[in-house]
Amino acid sequence: MRYSEIVKTYEEMEKNSSKIAKTQILAELLKKTPDEEMEMVTLLIQGVVFPKYTGYDLGIAQQLMLKAISKATGIGIDKVEKIFKESGDLGIVAEQCIKERKQVSLFKKELDVETVFKNLQKLAFIAGEGAQDKKLSLISELLSFAKPEEAKYLVRTILGDLRVGVAEGIIRDAIVEAFLTKEDATALEYAMNIYPNLGEIALLAKQKGLKGLKEIKVKLGQPIQVMLGEKAESIKEVVEKFGKVAAEYKYDGMRAQIHKDDEKIWIFTRRLEDVTKQFPDLVELCRKHLKPKKCIVEGEVIAVRDSSPLPFQVLSQRIQRKYDIEKMVKEIPIQINLFDIVLYEDEMLFDKTLLERRKILEKSIEVKPNKFMLAKQIVTDDISVLEIFYKEALDAKQEGIFLKVLDAKYIFGRHVGGWYKIKPTLETLDLAIVGATWGTGKRAGWLGSFILACRDEKTGKFLECGMLGTGVKEKKTSENDVTFEELTKLLKPLIIFEKGNSVRFKPKIVVSVDYQEIQMSPNYESGFALRFPRFVALRYDKGAEEVDTIERIKYLYELQKKTKK
């Protein structure tokens, strides 16, 4: 298939804001996609060339892309940078420069999907001496063969900022439209949770239809979507609705999905990122203390020192670490507290109740005190006992508790019922950083005054709700500290627009913040502003799609008004 076919689809979807129209446009593309290219096309439509769970990153920064556009077109870097400052979109820069290019390849050939896809994948594996030059050559070569509109989307794909408004839900609906019936949508949703690779799912739907989707099974080493809890306002509310419940500590750590296939162990975060290499100590614990030959278990990993839990911020240093792993293992020991099992040998357990799964989990592990544990749990409908358990969890420096319905099955995703979080009312908010300003004076070269955004769950749009500066450190004085320099390094590759000293980012970095109060404000698109927000932690374990919603902020604002009366 020609790459121009996908580009035509990009253009049509970018022009249409209607979800229905986007779905129909994409369905037409999928119908004419050859089987052998289905996974490539489905990934490219998402603006990626690897499924999220692989953890591969193309690692191309803004400056390298500017050089690649200059090299491919023969247009001076100064002029390329000037066009970028005017447009704020490197895709548009590439499109404009290709139109004006001063040099044309003697052996110009038409780009096809396979060539684009495989060359973009190569970028993730170029490392070592001369890596930047090799990446520069590969990108500029692709651009030299591209038509102007192809160059625009090539650059956007490489930078991870496609801008055509295609969420996972639209791709799901397009697969239904192309290969299934509306009645099959539930089976498709189930399959997507088992196989977090829409390309495989699309091909399965095309080749085997509903029957194939229903027969799908988990694949060890490939993560599944996890079940998430809902926020409840009180213990009493949950007990009155469900009666006897299982209460468990809500640990201040990293959700870990652990796959075991004999001696082979994989560890994934709740965002389906592979962190196996970062936790060799946990791998060894799983080999020694998980009894089944094959299983998938879930637990919460916390950092500990002298048997005392440490804040998540300490553990987060290990989640992102790619080097000096053994040093980090010694400096930041961990403990895991297991709370669920969804695969036992070859049996999937999603349809079993919470109580049944807990019994299977208990017989599946050999407890090692303070290292490899079962999550602390009590089962009761006595509210006073649950209140004491809740206080105990907070005193133990954990986030709160989960109340889990005893006959609840394992249901993927959030807002599904079954698990309810009880946390302090004045809780922190998890928000995305979407903008900042460049510092001056002693903060020159660092980003500061970070703009925070919540999310509109209906539209997927990010809405500004405050500006953060407090809590980020100029110098690191403890292992919990995060500095302006560290945040700047994380955010610079995500820049999508820069004007004067103001910068806008692709919403990817999530931070936990606390605040004095929430106020109504016409200055922010959300209509609300956090008063005196303070940085608490970087949330490496959360994606932008998991930040707190505008509905949550509205709720907390109303709750705050009541408590003031």
Q: What is the mean pLDDT of residues 254-281?
A: 94
Cβ atoms of 452 and 467 within 8 Å: the answer is yes
Cβ atoms of 91 and 163 within 8 Å: the answer is yes
Q: Is residue 258's pLDDT more than 70?
A: yes
Q: What are phi and psi of 328, to 5 degrees?
A: -70, -35
In CATH, the number for domain 429-564 is 2.40.50.140
Q: How confident is the model at residue 511, as a pLDDT? A: 94
Q: Is residue 178's pLDDT more than 90?
A: yes
**Catalytic center residues:** 250
Q: How confident is the model at residue 195, as a pLDDT? A: 86
In CATH, the number for domain 230-422 is 3.30.470.30
Taking the CA atoms of 344, 348, 350 and 353 in sequence, report the sign of the dihedral they define: negative
Instruction: Tell me, letter by letter, the H, E, C secondary structure of 255-302.
Output: EEEEEEECCEEEEECCCCCECHHHCHHHHHHHHHHECCCEEEEEEEEE
Q: What is the mean pLDDT of residues 76-82?
A: 90
Q: Is residue 102's pLDDT more than 70?
A: no
Q: How confident is the model at residue 565, as a pLDDT? A: 53
Q: Over pLDDT 70: what percentage of the chain?
A: 98
Q: How confident is the model at residue 107, as a pLDDT? A: 58
- Which range in 77-81, 431-435, 478-482 is most confidently predicted, on average pLDDT? 431-435
Over the chain, what is the mean pLDDT?
90
Cβ atoms of 210 and 184 within 8 Å: the answer is yes
The domain over range 48-159 is classified in CATH as 1.10.3260.10:
yes
Cβ atoms of 334 and 303 within 8 Å: the answer is yes
Joined together, the tokens standing for residue 278 give 């970062």
Bigger pLDDT: 103 vs 145: 145
Joined together, the tokens standing for residue 475 give 């110098």
| Rounded Cα distance, 326 and 56, in Å | 22
Residue ranges of domains in the chain: 48-159, 230-422, 429-564
Question: Shortest CA distance to 278 belongs to which of 237, 242, 316, 319?
Answer: 319
DSSP state for residue 74 in the 8-state scheme: T
Cβ atoms of 152 and 92 within 8 Å: the answer is yes
Cβ atoms of 96 and 83 within 8 Å: the answer is yes
Q: How confident is the model at residue 105, as a pLDDT? A: 56
Residues 11-45 have pLDDT tens digits of: 999 888 888 999 999 999 999 999 999 999 999 99
Residues 191-243 have pLDDT tens digits of: 999 988 888 899 999 999 999 998 899 999 999 999 999 888 899 999 999 99
Cβ atoms of 433 and 450 within 8 Å: the answer is yes
Q: How confident is the model at residue 548, as a pLDDT? A: 92
Helix 19-31 to helix 168-179 angle (10° resolution) is 50
Q: Is residue 564's pLDDT more than 80?
A: no
Question: Shortest CA distance to 234 belongs to which of 430, 429, 420, 428?
Answer: 420
Q: Is residue 337's pLDDT more than 70?
A: yes
Residues 352-393 have pLDDT tens digits of: 999 999 999 999 999 999 999 999 999 999 999 999 999 999
Residues 275-294 have pLDDT tens digits of: 999 999 999 999 999 999 99
Q: Is residue 108's pLDDT more than 70?
A: no
